[in-house]
Copies of this chain bind each other. A is one copy, B any other.
Amino acid sequence: MGVQAITMEAGSRHLSAEELSTRLESVGAERYHHRHPFHLLMHEGHLTRGQLQAWALNRYYYQSRIPIKDAIILSRSEDANFRRAWRKRLADQDGDGGAGGLECWLQLAEATDLERKRVCSCGEVLPGVRYAVDAYLALVERGTLLEAVASSLTEMFAKHLIALRLDALRRHYPWLTNGLGYFEARLSQAPEDARFAFEWVYEHARTREEQELAVRALTRKCELLWAQLDALYFAYVQPGWPPPGAFRPEAS
Closest B residue to A93 by CB, please name it: B80
Can you tell how many copies of this chain the complex includes?
2
The stretch that binds B, out of A29-37, A69-77, A242-250, is A69-77
> Within the complex, what minimum Cβ distance (angstroms) separates A184 from chain B?
20
Report yes or no: B68 in contact with A80, Cβ–Cβ below 8 A. Answer: no
Among A64, A76, A83, A91, find the residue whose CB has the most chain B CB atoms closer than 10 A: A83
With a CB–CB cut-off of 8 A, which chain B residues contact A87? 87, 90-91, 94
- Mostly helix, strand, loop or mixed at chain A's interface? helix
Which residues of chain A have a CB within 8 Å of any CB of chain B? 64, 67-69, 71-72, 74-78, 80, 83-84, 87, 90-91, 94-96, 100, 102-103
Residue pairs across A and B with Cβ atoms less than 8 A apart, 14 shown, are A64-B78, A67-B74, A68-B74, A68-B76, A68-B77, A68-B78, A72-B75, A75-B75, A80-B95, A80-B100, A84-B94, A84-B96, A87-B87, A87-B90
Q: A64-B78, A71-B75, A87-B87 are in contact. List 14 more A-B contacts (CB 8 A).
A: A67-B74, A67-B80, A68-B74, A71-B71, A71-B72, A71-B74, A72-B75, A74-B74, A75-B75, A80-B95, A80-B102, A83-B90, A84-B96, A87-B91
